[in-house]
């Protein structure tokens, strides 16, 4: 008998009919003898409907009250799903974030979980074979104020429940059937992975593969909760996200992620002296603009060049700030380009294999793709290239590293 936490997102519970199908799926697992905890999102469209009401009411809806408002979305789903389970002869009980004791900090709209005070009732429910249905995305702070974990936070709820209950697995049901070596819309030969490590998944997720919310993967890694991504609508084993398995030889590269939302800024001819980086980046971060990649060239003479990337939405503002800094520092010039993409190879096997970077650069060179920026981490190599080369870069790398073939060691 296993204890499994399921999570169903808004699309999976988007209608009465779909909630019924989710109930069928859960009942089948209960009959197999498993103990099931389910975390659910609001029915698709519901959160947007509630936000629209708030925006009609107020130009700047009060953050505490916004959480009181939108948290009703998941409360509706837990009630309907629990009704559906009862109808199928499957005993169940719903819990709001407050009722399950999901204690968070007080950062309304983006709260972080501090503790789960799963009370005795939950354990008793599970022992009695009841399905425990939990409202995702929500919690309460230490004063009892309703909080929300931010969009996608239902994944985090599921992982946190799995960690608190020491569950055997946390299964995230979604509209894709697993994690792929890259986006199948860009490379049709993309292959579903059976297994990926937490670290790889983190890199994939942060690079724009939107299967899982990053925070939930961090959480799962921290508490070593085996995480599985599966389809709500199709049968299949999905992709298991777990700790690195020491006994199995690792594929060097697990996947290729990319991000179309970046823009590049360069300032040239700045004085090459201590503190210059913070003079350049300070005004940007003070304007709440997040900086992704940063590269500083080796200085020639007494000046150096400095390049970084930001989200495309922040490009215009960042450029304006950089122009100002340029004048103050007496720099040579400011360059900007928002027609760029970041392409990254991700894989824990990279640690123990040399030559990955070289193969990557050779492959791109062979296709005539100019690399504009390079950044590396322990399990990732990212390059910035012209936007127009995105598909070509992804496909040529996918082939070069034989990602369409299962289990190949480079």
60 vs 358, beta carbon nearer a copy of itself: 60
Q: How near is the Cβ of 52 to a copy of itself at its closest, in Å?
A: 10
62 vs 222, beta carbon nearer a copy of itself: 62
Give the contacts of 234 (CB within 8 A, at least 6 positions apart).
177
Say which DSSP state 167 is in. -
Q: How near is the Cβ of 46 to a copy of itself at its closest, in Å?
A: 10
**Sheet architecture: strand order including 195-197:** 92-95, 131-135, 35-40, 3-8, 169-174, 227-231, 239-242, 195-197
- In angstroms, the CA 132 to CA 164 distance is 14
Q: How near is the Cβ of 56 to a copy of itself at its closest, in Å?
A: 5
56 vs 378, beta carbon nearer a copy of itself: 56
For residue 356, the SS3 value is helix
**Under the rule (CB under 8 A), what is the footprint of a copy of itself?**
16, 19-20, 50, 53-54, 56-62, 64-66, 68-69, 71-72, 75-76, 78-80, 82-84, 86-87, 93-94, 96, 98-99, 121, 143-144, 146
Q: How near is the Cβ of 105 to a copy of itself at its closest, in Å?
A: 18
53 vs 409, beta carbon nearer a copy of itself: 53
44 vs 268, beta carbon nearer a copy of itself: 44
Determine the angle formed by the axes of helices 63-70 and 72-87, rounding to 10 degrees.
Answer: 20
Q: How near is the Cβ of 76 to a copy of itself at its closest, in Å?
A: 6
Q: How near is the Cβ of 55 to a copy of itself at its closest, in Å?
A: 10
Say which DSSP state 275 is in. T
139 vs 221, beta carbon nearer a copy of itself: 139
62 vs 151, beta carbon nearer a copy of itself: 62
According to DSSP, the residues that pair with 382 across neighbouring strands are 344, 375
**Tokens encoding 162:** 């799995």
- Helix (H) or strand (E) segment spanning residue 263: strand 262-271
Q: How near is the Cβ of 146 to a copy of itself at its closest, in Å?
A: 8
Structural contact between residues 160 and 102, judged by C-beta atoms closer than 8 angstroms:
yes
3 vs 76, beta carbon nearer a copy of itself: 76
- Helix (H) or strand (E) segment spanning residue 336: strand 333-337
For residue 162, the SS3 value is helix
- In angstroms, the CA 140 to CA 252 distance is 43
CA distances (Å), origin 97, targets 2, 46, 220, 279, 368: 24, 18, 19, 44, 53
Q: How near is the Cβ of 144 to a copy of itself at its closest, in Å?
A: 6
According to DSSP, the residues that pair with 322 across neighbouring strands are none
């Amino acid at each position: 008998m296993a204890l499994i936490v399921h999570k169903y997102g808004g699309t999976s519970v988007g209608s009465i009919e779909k909630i019924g199908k989710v109930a069928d799926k859960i009942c089948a697992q209960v009959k197999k003898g498993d103990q099931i905890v389910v975390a659910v999102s609001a029915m698709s469209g519901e959160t947007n409907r509630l936000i629209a009401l708030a925006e009609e009411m107020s130009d700047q809806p009060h953050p505490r009250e916004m959480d009181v408002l939108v948290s009703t979305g998941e409360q509706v789903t837990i009630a309907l799903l629990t009704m559906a389970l009862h109808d199928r002869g499957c005993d169940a009980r719903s819990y709001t974030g407050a009722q399950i004791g999901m204690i968070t900090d007080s950062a309304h709209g983006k709260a972080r979980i501090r503790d789960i005070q799963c009370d005795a009732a939950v354990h008793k429910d599970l022992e009695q074979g009841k399905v425990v249905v939990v409202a995702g995305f929500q919690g309460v702070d230490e004063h009892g104020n309703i909080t929300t974990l931010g969009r996608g936070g239902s994944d985090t709820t599921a992982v946190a429940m799995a960690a608190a209950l020491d569950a055997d697995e946390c299964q995230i049901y979604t509209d894709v059937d697993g994690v792929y070596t890259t986006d199948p819309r860009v490379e049709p030969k993309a292959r579903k992975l059976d297994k990926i490590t937490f670290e790889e998944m983190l890199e994939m997720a942060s690079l724009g593969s939107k299967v899982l919310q990053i925070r939930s993967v961090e959480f799962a890694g921290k508490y070593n909760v085996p995480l599985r991504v599966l389809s709500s609508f199709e049968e299949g084993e999905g992709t298991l996200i777990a700790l690195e398995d020491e006994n199995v030889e690792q594929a060097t590269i697990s996947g290729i992620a990319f991000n179309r939302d970046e823009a590049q800024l360069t300032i040239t001819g700045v004085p090459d002296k201590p503190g210059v980086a913070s003079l350049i980046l300070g005004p940007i971060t003070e304007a709440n603009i997040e900086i992704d990649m940063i590269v500083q060239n080796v200085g020639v003479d007494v000046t150096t060049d400095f390049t970084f990337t930001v989200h495309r939405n922040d490009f215009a503002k960042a450029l304006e700030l950089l122009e100002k800094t340029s004048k103050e520092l007496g720099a040579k010039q400011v360059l900007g380009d928002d027609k760029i993409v970041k392409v990254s190879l991700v894989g824990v096997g990279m640690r123990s294999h040399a030559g990955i970077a070289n193969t990557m650069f050779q492959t791109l060179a062979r296709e005539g793709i100019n690399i504009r920026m390079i950044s590396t981490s322990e399990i990732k190599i990212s390059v910035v290239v012209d936007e127009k080369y995105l598909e070509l870069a992804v496909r040529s790398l996918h082939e070069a590293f034989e990602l369409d073939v299962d289990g190949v060691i480079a």
